[in-house]
């Protein structure tokens, strides 16, 4: 077969064989990327190649104050221009709580152009009342609020009933999504054991307690974890702490464009001749 002209785009069935992926702004299958300090050129390259597949970018931990302010502001603006929600890591707000500097934190978040925040207690302990206040205050400032459940200490596991109760209260206060902690390592924390394998019994228990997981985001930095959650919960599962170099890889798995999730393709009946 001779091809003489270059098509303007790939056939739709090849672009998304699953036939399920939403365009932005997505309500299903959102991807949160963790930026641990890449430079402005690398960040620009990330958005040029993968921006369409990123819904949230988190500047990890407490890294935000360590950037030169013009660089940080530029990164935030570039991402926001692509319809990406940009948030500082929850650890920074935890530090602000511990140092009694929450108003200053929110002032700078707004001044820099962040469009969301993460409310967490992975390192400190937040009372339920203070957690409620932080969610409501951020929401009143026009910020999208993501909360996080779980401790960062290695060996920490999910108390399923406590998670369900916490999530319900977070949502009632205005949280967009509740994130299940797994750190950037994905090992020995939350849903994953010390090898990074999914604790299937815990996941099954969570599904029995919270049947609708459409407002839960799972930190899953490792490929095997992403595959497991996509196969168990479907390609519309919200996934977070995705490394910057794995965005397109994850998107290919959501669409059935990698062997790990090839079965997601919606293939019409064909009669093959062997």
Q: Which fold has domain 22-264?
A: TIM Barrel (3.20.20)
Q: Residue 52, SS3?
A: helix
Q: Tell which wins on pLDDT, 211 or 257.
A: 257
How high is the pLDDT of residue 120? 96
Query: Tens of pLDDT along 149-199?
Result: 999 888 889 999 999 999 999 999 999 999 999 998 999 999 999 999 999
Residues 73-95: tens digit of each pLDDT: 999 999 999 999 999 999 999 99
Token pair 């003489």 is found at 4
Angle (CA) 136-138-140 rounded to 5° is 65
Are the C-beta atoms of 32 and 239 separated by less than 8 Å? yes
The residue among 104, 77, 84, 78 whose CA lies nearest residue 92 is 104
Q: How far apart are CA 252 and CA 257, in angstroms?
A: 5
Q: Structural domain boundaries of the chain?
A: 22-264
Length of the chain: 274
Checking if the pLDDT of 237 tops 90, the result is: yes
Contact 54, 31 (CB under 8 A): yes
Q: Which residues contact 31 (CB under 8 A, 6 or more apart)?
A: 53, 54, 55, 56, 238, 239, 240, 242, 247, 250, 251
pTM: 0.94
pLDDT band at 274; cut points 50, 70, 90 = very low
């Amino acid at each position: 077969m001779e091809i003489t002209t270059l098509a303007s785009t790939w056939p739709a069935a090849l672009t998304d064989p699953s036939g399920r992926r939403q365009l932005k702004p997505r309500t299903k299958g959102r991807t949160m990327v963790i930026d641990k300090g890449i430079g402005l050129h690398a960040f620009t390259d990330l958005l040029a190649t993968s921006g369409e597949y990123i819904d949230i970018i988190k500047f990890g931990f407490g890294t935000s104050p360590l950037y030169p302010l013009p660089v940080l502001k530029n990164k935030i603006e570039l991402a926001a221009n692509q319809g990406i929600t940009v948030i500082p890591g929850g650890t920074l707000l935890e530090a602000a709580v511990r140092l009694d500097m929450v108003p200053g934190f929110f002032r700078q978040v707004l001044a820099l152009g962040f469009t969301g925040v993460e409310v967490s207690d992975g390192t400190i302990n937040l009372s339920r009342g203070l957690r409620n206040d932080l969610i409501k205050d951020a929401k009143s400032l026009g910020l999208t609020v993501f909360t996080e459940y779980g401790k960062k200490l290695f060996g920490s596991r999910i108390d399923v009933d406590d998670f369900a109760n916490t999530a319900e209260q977070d949502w009632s206060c205005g949280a967009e999504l509740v994130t299940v902690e797994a750190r950037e390592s994905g090992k020995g924390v939350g849903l994953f054991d010390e090898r990074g394998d999914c604790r299937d019994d815990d996941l099954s228990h969570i599904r029995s307690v919270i049947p609708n997981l459409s407002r839960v985001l799972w930190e899953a930095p490792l490929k095997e974890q992403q595959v497991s959650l996509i196969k168990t919960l479907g390609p519309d599962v919200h996934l977070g702490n995705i490394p910057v170099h794995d965005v397109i890889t994850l998107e290919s798995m959501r669409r059935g464009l990698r062997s790990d999730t090839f079965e997601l393709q919606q293939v019409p009946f064909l009669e093959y001749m062997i």
